[in-house]
Amino acid sequence: MQHYDYFLNPHISEPHYIARLGIIRDLSELAKETTGRVLDIGSGASRGYEKLFKPYVSEYLCLDRNPESNVDICSDCYNIPLDDNCIDVVLSTQVLEHLDNPSLMLKESYRVLKPGGTAIMTIPMSWGLHEEPDDFYRYTKYGIQYLLSEAGYVDIQIKPLEGLLASVIQLIIDEYYAIWLKSNKSAANHAVTILNKIALWLDKKFPTQRFCLTYLSTAHKPSN
């Protein structure tokens, strides 16, 4: 029997299945190419994507500002208590929108990276309000490009993880799922399963690039 994990392997009946699927798929592929020391900035109590990367890396460090989180480094991301040039890969997923000063976080991530090191980030273009009141920004690919370039990164690659129609369906589910649950839990989960299947089909049948839920970005610190 397949083991489902809401964070790493969600069931198709989960309300955030579409949003999770693209992130997990692409990070799983990137993890296979990752070595050395990884710093997960804003990992939370779930310890981020440690299970994806752990088989391939020498160390996976989790950083979060919440003292109750199960992390290795309890700190904000503006003053990371690590030496310069000591990390091979910085990972940050769905964090940038919650920072009042995202530029400072990107500069800190750049500082701790070794020359030639890689930053991997997932950053939302569209999503409803969440983790309020610490919900400040949404980003276009041009905004992401600008912020990473300003921090010193090069070889910046940015890709949307979903298309328009799947994104719209996911936003509808996120907005109304709690209401549907109050009416009928079984019917709500059945409806979500059907909508998720339709979203996957539409994304494959009618792919688009201009609107998404999340961007995946990779960038590098120059080698010299």
Residue 37 clears pLDDT 80, i.e. is over it: yes
pLDDT at residue 162 in the model: 97
Q: Which domains does the chain have, with CATH numbers?
A: 17-164+209-220 (3.40.50.150)
Mean pLDDT on 32-44: 96
Structure tokens at 140: 């276009």
Q: What is the mean pLDDT of the chain?
A: 95
Which residues, in sequence order, are bridge partners of residue 113?
87
pLDDT at residue 1 in the model: 61
Residue 7 clears pLDDT 90, i.e. is over it: no
pLDDT at residue 120 in the model: 98
Which residues, in sequence order, are bridge partners of residue 220?
118, 154
Structure tokens at 97: 């929108």
What does each C-alpha distance from 153 to 44, 75, 110, 129, 189 come to in angstroms?
A: 25, 23, 7, 29, 43
Question: Among 213, 197, 193, which Cα is nearest to 205's?
Answer: 197
Mean pLDDT on 82-94: 98
Mean pLDDT on 38-47: 93
pLDDT at residue 224 in the model: 78
pLDDT at residue 48 in the model: 86
pLDDT digits (tens, 9 = 90+) for 133-162: 999 999 999 999 999 999 999 999 999 999
The whole-angstrom distance between residue 115's C-alpha and the CA centroid of its chain comes to 23
pLDDT more than 90, % of the chain = 91
Residues 6+ apart with CB under 8 A from 94: 23, 42, 122, 123, 124, 214
| DSSP secondary structure string for all residues of 75-105 | --SSS-SS-TT-EEEEEEES-GGG-S-HHHH
Rounded to the nearest 5°, which phi and psi values hold at 134?
-85, 60
Residue 182 clears pLDDT 70, i.e. is over it: yes
* pLDDT-derived band at 11, boundaries 50, 70, 90: very high
* pLDDT-derived band at 92, boundaries 50, 70, 90: very high
Residue 107 clears pLDDT 70, i.e. is over it: yes
Kindly report the number of other CB atoms within 10 A of residue 66's CB atom: 12
What does each C-alpha distance from 35 to 62, 153, 179 come to in angstroms?
A: 16, 19, 44
Residues 6+ apart with CB under 8 A from 139: 96, 97, 123, 124, 125, 147, 215
pLDDT at residue 123 in the model: 98
Mean pLDDT on 40-63: 94
Distance CA 207, CA 101 (A): 33
Mean pLDDT on 66-90: 93
What does each C-alpha distance from 100 to 68, 123, 136, 194 come to in angstroms?
A: 22, 15, 6, 37
* pLDDT-derived band at 66, boundaries 50, 70, 90: confident
Residue 31 clears pLDDT 90, i.e. is over it: yes
Q: Beta strand pairing status for 214-220 and 113-124? A: antiparallel
0.85 surpassed by pTM: yes
pLDDT at residue 81 in the model: 96
